Amino acid sequence: MSVVLDNLDLVLWAFAHTVALFLISGVLSLLLGTFLVALRVGPIPILRRAVSVYVTLIRNTPLLIIFIFFRFAGPKIGINFNFVDIVWGDLRMNNFFAAAIAALTIYTSTFVSEAIRSGINAVPLGQAEAARAVGLSFGGVMQQVVLPQAFRASVPPLASVQIALLKNTTVAGVFGVAEALFRVRGFTNNFPGERVGIFITFALFFVVLVEIVSFVANRFERRWGVAR
């Protein structure tokens, strides 16, 4: 335990990286995922088909492979993030960090799009028919009837996706971002005798973070959930 306590600042900065990765790629993946789902349920068949092929391909590719792409393969064809270099205290948002954000966002956004799509599918057809029957335009049907219910129904699966994202940030540690897993590896190399204590501390940190995310999600679900 003493390793963790003696190096508490390192541990906290590690989790600052973890939380930064989670928040930034969480928001970006929600935006990109919403865009994908908009194309996917839209009226143009070929666009629907193309996006669904894209989503299937990305969903079935391991996150690690996407990381390898952005770290080792992308730079070979000029995809790099060398222009990113923001340092805030010990929080280094450099090109490794940006590559991790890109990988996490691209991977997670496909799951976000699936979650929202399942929400849209959960809206009963009769709701839209009734909305059209009382004379709402397409925009009105969407804004006032379909989307509010769809987003509410999407809260639980979206929460699962975001929690998985939180745990997936650890993959960034393998690719040089100084987040929690990176620190665990450093500590266990230097203090092999204390590895179980180190592991339990970091694991509990993650349990707490996961509980926070699911608590927030539960509050949203309780406030927004649709009773059926």
- Residue found under tokens 């306590």: 5
Q: Which of 106, 114, 152, 153 binds other proteins (CB under 8 A)?
A: 114
Nearest to 165 by CA among 221, 224, 214: 214
Query: CA 150, CA 12: separation in Å to the nearest integer?
Result: 38
> Is 135 among the residues that bind other proteins (CB under 8 A)?
no
Least distance in angstroms from the C-beta of 225 to other proteins: 13
- Nearer Cβ to other proteins, position 78 or 89? 78
Cα 125 from chain centre: 30
> Is 92 among the residues that bind other proteins (CB under 8 A)?
no
Residues 226/149, Cβ–Cβ less than 8 Å: yes
- Nearer Cβ to other proteins, position 93 or 155? 155
- Nearer Cβ to other proteins, position 127 or 144? 127
> Is 188 among the residues that bind other proteins (CB under 8 A)?
yes
Q: Which of 16, 24, 52, 140 binds other proteins (CB under 8 A)?
A: 52
Least distance in angstroms from the C-beta of 86 to other proteins: 25
> Is 173 among the residues that bind other proteins (CB under 8 A)?
yes
**Cross-strand bridge partners of residue 92:** 87
Question: Phi and psi for 87 in degrees, rounded to 5?
Answer: -120, 130
Question: Is residue 135 exposed (0-12), middle (13-18) or buried (19+ Cβ within 10 Å)?
Answer: exposed
- Fill in the per-residue mask, 11 to 50: x = in contact with other proteins (CB under 8 A), - = not in contact: ------------------------------xxxxxxx--x
> Is 63 among the residues that bind other proteins (CB under 8 A)?
yes
- Nearer Cβ to other proteins, position 31 or 65? 65
**Type and span of the H or E element at 128:** helix 125-133
Q: What is residue 216's three-state secondary structure?
A: helix
